[in-house]
Every structure is written in structure tokens, then in C-alpha cells.
Structure 1
């Protein structure tokens, strides 16, 4: 017995062709239609970064217009950090070029230096009352005749003593006279004191009276001789108008070679005693100058 429950569906030729093409669209002749539009796909790294950014709390919450479009959060953070760094550098440059800032810095440094010097002089005043910065100039206690003589002698001594002003010499002379010395004794004492002061070129004949381990001298190299010690570079005699002394140049001092008959000025020479006589030695801390040696560009 045949069943009448079967159902039939009429399918058009175009629909049959579409099904045979696997669901792909076909034209009126039944040929598949090819879509020539290129399809762009994200790389694995882009997909991974997109997932990270999408799941980041800031990326989800921040939808303001301040965000930089087209970049990831990591890139945006680097851009913002660079902009902040440039703003900081610009602000520092602007502060550094403010008018008067350099002068104010020098003024502050000079003020602090003066304060430290004044405090040092106050401590030194416990030994020598005349160095007290709050004490009046001793020349104010001199008579008019004494002051005139002090000014005359200070002018004369200033021509012989390098680095000492007339005012400084006059104050020392005033101290000596107020302390009870006559003018002649004061002049001799101040001259010897300042002549052998640190940094001054000491007459070779006065080296024995200098109570320091380092001295500065100037004179002519009268004689050089060879040394038996490999530690000595040169050894000889140096002389000025006041006397002569032995000078030794150590090999490790890296000093220039000295020639006989040459005038030299030595700063920071080490003072030594040998067989009861004073001598000097050039070390790595010493400096040697040749006042009469011609410069190579001349």
C-alpha cells in the first residue's frame, strides 16, 4: 500500500547549482563567482597584544579622547613618558638660564668662603691676637711720623717680595712696631718672615732657617755629576746670590732634565739634611720652571 505522506519540494536549477558548488555563489551560467577583494588577517603577535590590551583594566575603562589611537597601551605609555621627560629637560634648561642665577651662585659661594675665613682667623687669634678680624688695624695706633715711615718701608719691601701687597706688609710692620720693636728691627723681621713664607721663593742661603719640609727656590745649576744610584736621575749644585745647595732629582719623580748653567725655579722641593748640611730633592710633587729657556713656538 503506497503512502501518501511523502512530501516533495520543487528546487530550481539555480538552487541546485548553488548546492553543488558547496554553498558558493554562482552566476546565471552556473559558474562559481570568485571574490577578488583581498582579505586581511591579523598576525599572531597582533592578536595576542589585542587580547592583552582588551583584557587590561585601563584599556577597558579608558574610552576618553586623550587616548592615542592606533597604538597599544605599551606604546602609548612610552610616548607619554618621553613627552614628560622632554618637558622636564626643557624646564631645567629654562631655570638654568635665568638672569642673575650664576651671579647669585658666585655671591653665595664668596659669602660662605668669607665666613669660613673669618672663623679661622678667630681661632688663630687665640695664638696671635693681631689676626683677629674684629681687631682694628694696628696702624691706627701709630703716630703720624711712624705711619709715614711704615708706608715708605712697605712700598720698598713690596718691590722685593712677590705676592705681597703694600697693605699687607704695612699691617705687619704696624703690628711689630705696636708690639714694641723699633722701625729697623720691624723691617728686618717682617722681611725675613714674608720672604720665607709658604709659597715664596726662599733664598738658598736661608734654607736652614725655614721650618718647613717643602720649599721653593730659584738659582743657576752650577754643576751636575753622575750618581751611582739607579734611583737618582740627576744630582748637582744650585746657587743664587745668597748661597748654594745640593739638589737631587729622583728617577721616579718624572721631572724634566736640567742642564748646567741653566736657571731654574723649583716649587715644592723636599728639604733634607745630609752630613749637617741642608739640601733639596725633586719629587713627584715638585714642579720645575725654566725662566730663561726659550719657548718652542718662538
Structure 2
């Protein structure tokens, strides 16, 4: 015969509260420390008002068919806008309206650009007949002997003119010859024209003859001296085989420092006149390159 003598220590809620009361924190005078931090709790009126605001007709969008209860006006507007956007994208995908749109746009833009260019050349043809887009290649109007001479001279000019193809030079030579000039005069005139064309590195000695406000030059900075103004970073002389001119670099242009005796290539230098003499200045739009920097093998 066996018996189970199990004991169970069951503590009531009141007893637990009494034990916790015994463990309450006391101060140095053995007085219980009372937590006086206020606890905020919504009143019955506040809870009722919150329910009224959430379900009030002014707090949601009236869609006639259905409304999203419990959502604010801002939330429901975002939901409706997203649904409308998804429907629009889906409809476009089904209809295929976006297929090839970019290619069609490029085709139309290229066509309109060609039309504008042709219209401009037509207007230019009233001054220069060679600019007429409907005119045949001027080389076709030359005799076989003239064409051979033009091709020989264009090959010579290609070696002297950077950035110009032999075809472009020969076409321009043919235009001048067809216009009535002899070949030698045409060669000299075309060489000077293309040498000083916009964007080309021009000889420093011909800066006075160029009507452009911005030029590209290449040469050696042979001399630097102390600037006369705090606004000037560097000032000196730059020269090449054709001549020399004054070079000024402004502090505001924030251009790299140039050493005396260094060779530089400058694109977009501003051309200035002072006391009847031409000079160039570096601006914030100028580009300065150093062809000989970093040539470690020398």
C-alpha cells in the first residue's frame, strides 16, 4: 500500500502583494519610496472621440462604390493613387504603346534635324553657292588633271593640319578652284582658313588675325614675373615658332600651376587687347594640358 504525501505551497494573490510590499524600496529614514511619475491614460471621452474621428465621413475618401474604413484621408489617397498607376501600367503593357517608342523618337528627331540643317544651308547658299546642299561635289566639276593636283596638295596639307581629313581638305580646295582661283592661291587660302578655324590650335603669331574671342594655342612659357594684382595667379610670356604673347592666369579661374620653361597646350583661352597688343588669359572654362609632363623616359 502506497501513499502520496505531496505538499503544495500555493500562495494567494494577497500574499504575493504582501511579500512585494515587504520588499518595497525604503529611504534612509526607513520610509517607503513612492514612485510619483505620472502615468498618462486616455479618458473615456478621448477614446470615444478617436472612434468618431476614424469613422467620420470627412476622414476618408468617398469612392461611391466602396470606402476604406479606418484609413485616414492621406492613407486612402496613396492607396487609390497606387491602384490607378498599376492599372495604367497594365493597360499600356497590354496595348503595347511603349514598344519602339525610343527608336521612333530618335528617328523623328533625326529627320527634323536634317530638315533644319538643309533649310539653313539653303539660306546660306544665297550668299555662298558652295553651301547649297543640292549642289554636286565640286570635285566632279574638275578636269582629271586638276583633280590629281588637288589630291596631291590635300595630302601635303593633311600633314600640316591636325584634325582635318584629306577628303575634307580636297573638297574645300576643289570648291576654291571651281570658284576661279588658281591652285597655288587656293592652297594658301585654304591652309590659312583651316589653320585658324574654331577649335584648332593656332600659331601665336597669328592671334591678331583671328576674329574669335576664344583661341587654342600651344607653346613654351619662357618667362614669368611677379603679378601686379592679388587677383592674378600667374603672368608671363608664352611663345612658339611664330611669335609670343602675354599669358595671364587669374586666381578665380583655378587653373594648374605652370612652371617657367614648361610647354603647355591651352584650349579656350580668352583673347584680349591692351595698348594695341593681343594677349591671352586663362578662365574657368579654359583647359590646360602639359604634353611633356610625366615623360619619365626622358
Q: Distance in 1 between matches of 2:240 and 2:70?
A: 83
Larger Rg: 1
Distance 1:228 1:153, change over 3 A: same
Q: State the superposition RMSD in angstroms.
A: 3.2
| Match status 1:222 vs 2:222 | yes
Q: Deviations over 1:186-210 (max 9, x none)?
A: 1111010010011111011211211
| Match status 1:271 vs 2:271 | yes
TM-score, length-normalised on structure 2?
A: 0.71
Q: Deviations over 1:233-254 (max 9, x none)?
A: 1111111122221111122222
Match of 2:126, SS state, is: coil
Q: Distance in 1 between matches of 2:69 and 2:209?
A: 86
What residue ranges of structure 1 are gaps of 5+ in the alignment?
Answer: 1-41
Kindly report which structure 2 residues correspond to 1:1-298, keeping only aligned pairs within 5 A, or say none: 43-47=48-52, 49-50=54-55, 52=57, 67=66, 79-89=79-89, 98-294=98-294
| Alpha-carbon distance, 1:146 to partner | 0.7
Match of 1:233, SS state, is: strand
Match of 2:200, SS state, is: coil
Match of 1:269, SS state, is: strand
Match of 1:284, SS state, is: coil
| Alpha-carbon distance, 1:91 to partner | 5.8
Q: Distance in 2 between matches of 1:137 and 1:223?
A: 49
Match of 2:169, SS state, is: helix
What residue ranges of structure 2 are gaps of 5+ in the alignment?
Answer: 1-46
Q: Distance in 1 between matches of 2:206 and 2:125?
A: 28
Q: Distance in 1 between matches of 2:124 and 2:114?
A: 15
